[in-house]
Structure formats: structure tokens, C-alpha cells
Amino acid sequence: MLTEVTFAKAKHGKESLIAYKNDKNQRVFIDVKHTDFAPGIHSVVIVDNRYDIDLVIKNAYQYQIEDKKRIEIGVKKKHIWKPLLQENIEKELDIDVYELCRAKRNLSILIQRLQDVLMYIEPSENGLKAYSHKLRELLILACTDLECTFKNYKFGKNERISDYKQILKLIDLSKYKIALVSYSVKYDCNPFKNWETDKLDWYDAYNKTKHNRNDAFNLATLENCLNAVCANIIMFCVRYSPYLLYHENDACSNLVRNTFDVRIEDEADFYIPVFEGERTCSGAFSVPIRFPNGQVLEDVFDRKTQLVFIEK
């Protein structure tokens, strides 16, 4: 539904606030903090219509209002995860358990092959330029797996990278940044950076070394392989959410945690869930919320329900 949403930020720190009026004329305040790998909902406060949203933000939270927009809230894209979608993920993203297991198995194979290479080549400035038959095999495998993932979304003719690029209309992939862990040399990867305006060099290298090995063998580098493998990790997060990588205890999740640090930085692309409040019998006289500055919000709804997202 099209709703006026107020965005605010804390004067110090990374906390932010999303506030709006729901269909029941209740005031909803979603406190967002950046934890683990992405922004997440820290707390939700719902009060009745006696309160003015701007005054609560300024006087109680003491946040700075940064923007107001009329946007659709409670809406999601099919098979596309974004931050703040963190409840009932399997149902919201229509995840099939067998499909998920297969995706994790495929991703595990890519990471294991990469780890084999990293036993012999350090991801240093010189090491990233190294190329070999093993790296060429990994680059081709990683990029063909990525193509299979993109094909599931059925963009355009679904035949080439220019078709798959249409996913950028649904989600900003450049926000994902991945770093290798447990290496003395810091290496950060942002495989989809500038894709909107430019080509993907590592994907171009894959095409060239696949079709013309003799002239383009030197493009099968460790750096291009890292980009290709990280692109697969990102697309896994887009389809199944990072929660199913970082909050699980299976072989794939352990491989990812032990090898990569996945972060969503400078995030401005997220879903806004719709919350509604109600008072239970035991909460008819709910405890007021007291803020550190002495401000008090009375009669806060003691039960909060998140509505199911509408798919568009």
C-alpha cells in the first residue's frame, strides 16, 4: 500500500528509524540496526493516533529526520530477498527444501574448489594475477552455475548476460561486499560493482577463456575466480537470504563462515514490513516505554503482528 514513510537516523551510531501510519491509524516505529551481515529490525513500537510521528522521533528517540517518501510498504518481489525480511523467510520466499539443499551443495563445491586453489596461491596482489588450468575450470564452473541461477528468474530471452542484467531493476546487487577471512592479506570483493553502467570484467574473462583458450588462457586468474564464486554467494543470498547461510549449522554454511565475510553496506534498498498492534487482556494497561532522556510513550500496544508481504 502507498504510504508516507519517515526515515530518520541517530545523531551518533548506525541506528536508523522507519516510521509510518498503518491502515488502523496506528503509529509504527521500526528501529533498525546494522548487525551481523545486514541491517535488521532491532525493535518495533506501535502507539495510537494521539501521537505525532515527527514529535516522537525528535523528542523521544532524538533522531534526525532525513527524508519522507510515499512508497509501497508490505510489498516484496518474487524470489528476491532484501533486508528487513527476517520473519517466515521460507514461506515468504517460497523456498523448496530440496531446491535449497541442491543450491547449498552446488555452492559448497565451488567454495571447496576455491579452497583447494588457495592452498597453493595466496590472494596477494601478485597471487591474484596467477592463472592455471584448475582456475580456468573453476571460473567456467562458477559462471555456468551463476547463469543457471539467473535463468530461474526468466529475464528477457534468458540467453545472455544482457538479459540477466534486468535483475538490477529488482535489487541493487552492488551493495553486497565480500571479504576473505583467515588470510594475512586483506581482499575485498564486490563482483557486481558498476554493472549498471559497465560490463563485468570477470564474466567477460570467462566467456573469452571458454571460447578461445589459446589466446585468453591468461584471463583465468585467481581474482576472476574469486569474483565468480562471490557472485554465486550473493545470488544465493538474494534467493534464500543470508540468514540461511549464517544462522545454520550445515556443511555449506560452515564453509561460507570460515572463508568469507559477507556484508551489505550503504544499504538503502530494503523491504518495509507492515505491523499492526493490539492489546491483550493482560496488556490492557501496558507498561509505558521510557526513553533515556525521560520521554515516555503511554499505552503502547503490547502485541505486534507482522502482516504477510504482498508479492508484486
Same structural domain for residues 177 and 66?
Answer: no
Structural domain total, the chain: 2
Evaluate whether residue 79 is within a structural domain.
no
Same structural domain for residues 66 and 130?
Answer: no
C-alpha span between 160 and 138 (Å, rounded)? 20
Cα 223 versus chain centre, distance? 23
Residue 68's pLDDT band (boundaries 50, 70, 90)?
very high
* DSSP E strand stretches across the chain: 2-10, 16-21, 27-35, 38-47, 63-72, 75-76, 176-180, 188-189, 260-264, 275-278, 289-290, 296-297, 303-306, 310-311
Mean residue pLDDT of the chain comes to: 92
C-alpha span between 153 and 102 (Å, rounded)? 17
pLDDT computed for residue 187 by the predictor: 78
pLDDT computed for residue 288 by the predictor: 86
Residue 15's pLDDT band (boundaries 50, 70, 90)?
confident
Residue 266's pLDDT band (boundaries 50, 70, 90)?
low
Residues in the chain: 312
Evaluate whether residue 80 is within a structural domain.
no
Same structural domain for residues 106 and 249?
Answer: yes
Same structural domain for residues 166 and 95?
Answer: yes
Same structural domain for residues 55 and 21?
Answer: yes
C-alpha span between 264 and 268 (Å, rounded)? 10
Average confidence (pLDDT) over 237-243: 96
Average confidence (pLDDT) over 161-184: 91
Same structural domain for residues 254 and 279?
Answer: no
pLDDT computed for residue 36 by the predictor: 76
Collapsing DSSP states into helix, strand and coil, what is residue 77?
coil
Evaluate whether residue 230 is within a structural domain.
yes
Residue 279's pLDDT band (boundaries 50, 70, 90)?
confident
Residues 180-222 have pLDDT tens digits of 987 777 778 999 999 988 899 999 999 999 999 989 999 999 9
Residue-by-residue DSSP string for 164-176: HGGGGGT--GGGE
C-alpha span between 180 and 241 (Å, rounded)? 20
Which of 248, 264, 280 terminates a domain? The answer is: 264
pLDDT computed for residue 284 by the predictor: 55
Q: Is 292 a residue whose pLDDT tops 60? A: yes
Average confidence (pLDDT) over 131-159: 95
Q: Which structural domain, as residue segments, surrounds residue 45?
A: 2-74+272-311
pLDDT computed for residue 165 by the predictor: 94
Evaluate whether residue 148 is within a structural domain.
yes
Evaluate whether residue 108 is within a structural domain.
yes
Residue-by-residue DSSP string for 128-165: GG-B-HHHHHHHHHHHHHHHHHHHTT--TTSSSHHHHG
Residue 83's pLDDT band (boundaries 50, 70, 90)?
very high
Same structural domain for residues 95 and 236?
Answer: yes
pLDDT computed for residue 24 by the predictor: 95
Average confidence (pLDDT) over 86-93: 95
Same structural domain for residues 96 and 229?
Answer: yes
Same structural domain for residues 119 and 224?
Answer: yes
pLDDT computed for residue 282 by the predictor: 60
Same structural domain for residues 214 and 232?
Answer: yes
Evaluate whether residue 67 is within a structural domain.
yes
Residue 302's pLDDT band (boundaries 50, 70, 90)?
confident
Evaluate whether residue 82 is within a structural domain.
no
Same structural domain for residues 154 and 241?
Answer: yes
Same structural domain for residues 158 and 205?
Answer: yes
Q: Is 281 a residue whose pLDDT tops 80? A: no
